Structure 1
């Protein structure tokens, strides 16, 4: 199998006042193409920091990250942004939709950035798939939390990413809505053949993925496969 993400000896710390706070310590793992993978741990265990590093949103102090066959350490900010636009999808806890754009415009944006001519058609198709076929022209403020997250899921798949990072995707949703969003995420993911990486503190959600990596205090305490 081809490795889509290869992380080696990652270290990350921040200066907090006069103290140095180590957030991640000697993290190594890899993820294969089309795998579903979750990173779990309590609040403050370094999961979101790790996700940001893996997606090239931030740089580690030391160690290496290879994403989709490209070593991130060798890339400039702009080059990393191009790689993300082409290869990476994101779903965030707080949806991160653009408030001045309609649902359809939010989904079409990543494609338009790539110069795609069919951005609107793809957007409509994805919104219909997530059950929002009648809501193309609604703005985020006119949608419920669950609907906004469904728009965000549709947007995440619009550029046909090789890998999708979901950071606490159900964190702001009630249990029932969260279940529906997760079901959609896994269905679209399977259909698209995308690699899915979920950061969560929800063990039930983590158990739906093929492998779980557990973090505590910035260190890996366990990595296991689900059977």
Structure 2
């Protein structure tokens, strides 16, 4: 079986004054290529920290995270950035579009980082897929929240990622718009064959994924994940 993401004995702590605060403790799971996972739990349970570690955005204290066969703990920051550019897409709650760039230019960023000569054509195709080809020259401030998140989704898929990390992708949207973004996210994920790791407070959304990982106090409270240590 092919795993796109493997997490083994992952632990993360921060220094808080004189005390050491452990936010994640001994996390273990493996996600198959093309499958989806929701990470749920109360605020402060370590969801976003786990997502950041899985994506190579933070430094691991103990244990390992492997993306597409590459152990991130063995790589330099530049090497981790290269792994992200080639394998990973991101969607955030607050969209994180660059305000001085148009919708089209925002989508093109990952492709330009990879030196892709077909960046404009591929980005236009993605704009069309998310239904916003008529908004290509609009800046983020000229777009609604739902439109901004659709642009963010198109950008996330522009480098043909093997895995997509999404942190509360519908958290800033009204219910109707959020449902449309959910459908678009799952449709694109299925069409592109991309694995998905989703942090959400929305239990209804979480149950739409293949697997669920529930955290509490930085530890796994419930899991139906494939793992070397978890049933």
Determine the structure 2 residue equivalent to 1:162. 162
Structure 1 residues 33-72: aligned runs within 5 Å = 33-72=33-72
User: 2:39 is paired with a residue of what secondary structure?
Assistant: strand
My pick for the range that moved more, 15-24 or 212-221, is: 15-24
Query: What is the distance in 2 between the residues matched to 1:64 and 1:117?
Result: 35
1:103 correspondence with 2:92? no
List gaps (5 residues or longer) in structure 1: none
Map Cα deviations across residues 71-103 of structure 1 (whole Å, 9 max, x no partner): 101100000000000100000011000000000
After TM superposition, where is structure 1 displaced by more than 6 Å over at least 4 residues in a row? none
The number of residue pairs the alignment matches comes to: 225
Deviation at 1:224, TM superposition (A): 2.2
Deviation at 1:50, TM superposition (A): 0.3
Query: What is the distance in 1 between the residues matched to 2:19 and 2:171?
Result: 30
What TM-score do the two structures reach when normalised by structure 2?
0.96
Query: What is the distance in 2 between the residues matched to 1:21 and 1:94?
Result: 27
Query: What is the distance in 2 between the residues matched to 1:170 and 1:17?
Result: 35
My pick for the range that moved more, 9-18 or 99-108, is: 9-18
Determine the structure 2 residue equivalent to 1:89. 89
Query: What is the distance in 2 between the residues matched to 1:176 and 1:16?
Result: 40
Structure 1 residues 1-227: aligned runs within 5 Å = 1-224=1-224
Query: What is the distance in 2 between the residues matched to 1:71 and 1:157?
Result: 23
Deviation at 1:18, TM superposition (A): 1.9
Query: What is the distance in 1 between the residues matched to 2:101 and 2:16?
Result: 37
Query: What is the distance in 2 between the residues matched to 1:179 and 1:43?
Result: 22
Deviation at 1:163, TM superposition (A): 0.3
User: 1:134 is paired with a residue of what secondary structure?
Assistant: helix
List gaps (5 residues or longer) in structure 2: 226-231
What TM-score do the two structures reach when normalised by structure 1?
0.98
When the two chains are superposed, the root-mean-square deviation of aligned CA atoms in Å is: 0.8
